[in-house]
């Protein structure tokens, strides 16, 4: 049985990677690091706005990719904050 021409595109690239046993997180980390280096804390706003724009469209794959970047960015930024209490002498 031959698959429909667009059958491959029905699954997003993230789903295909997952099915192949490939972890997408390193790719999200590369994008997150690049955005942070280039835009600093403004990268969070940039990524959040991108997620919101993609939510309004029909491109599930684009949305999944930007959600992955957003998730990685927020994790990186949260980990960068020093939560050690300040000591005043």
The answer to whether residue 4 sits within a structural domain is no
Please list the pLDDT of the chain residue by residue as tens digits (89 residues): 344 444 445 578 888 999 999 999 999 999 999 999 999 989 999 999 999 999 988 888 889 999 999 999 999 988 887 666 667 76
Report the number of distinct structural domains present in the chain.
1
The answer to whether residue 89 sits within a structural domain is no
pLDDT (0 to 100) of residue 56? 86
Please report, for residues 12, 15, 24, the alpha-carbon distance to residue 19 in angstroms, rounded to integers and kept in the order given.
11, 6, 11
Structural domain range at position 52: 10-80
**pTM (predicted TM-score):** 0.73
The answer to whether residue 85 sits within a structural domain is no
pLDDT (0 to 100) of residue 80? 81
The answer to whether residue 86 sits within a structural domain is no
The answer to whether residue 50 sits within a structural domain is yes
The answer to whether residue 33 sits within a structural domain is yes
Tokens of 88: 């005043």
Please report, for residues 3, 12, 38, the alpha-carbon distance to residue 64 in angstroms, rounded to integers and kept in the order given.
24, 8, 22
The answer to whether residue 60 sits within a structural domain is yes
The answer to whether residue 87 sits within a structural domain is no
Please report, for residues 2, 18, 31, the alpha-carbon distance to residue 75 in angstroms, rounded to integers and kept in the order given.
43, 21, 13
């Amino acid at each position: 049985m031959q698959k429909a021409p667009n059958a491959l595109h029905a699954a997003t690239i993230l789903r295909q990677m997952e099915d192949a046993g490939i972890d997408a997180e390193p790719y999200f980390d590369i994008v997150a690091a690049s955005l942070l280096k280039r835009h600093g804390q403004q990268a969070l706003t940039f990524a959040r706005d991108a997620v919101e724009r993609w939510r309004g469209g029909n491109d599930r794959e684009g949305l999944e990719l930007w959600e992955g970047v957003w998730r990685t960015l927020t994790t990186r930024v949260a980990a960068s904050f020093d939560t050690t209490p300040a000591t005043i002498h």
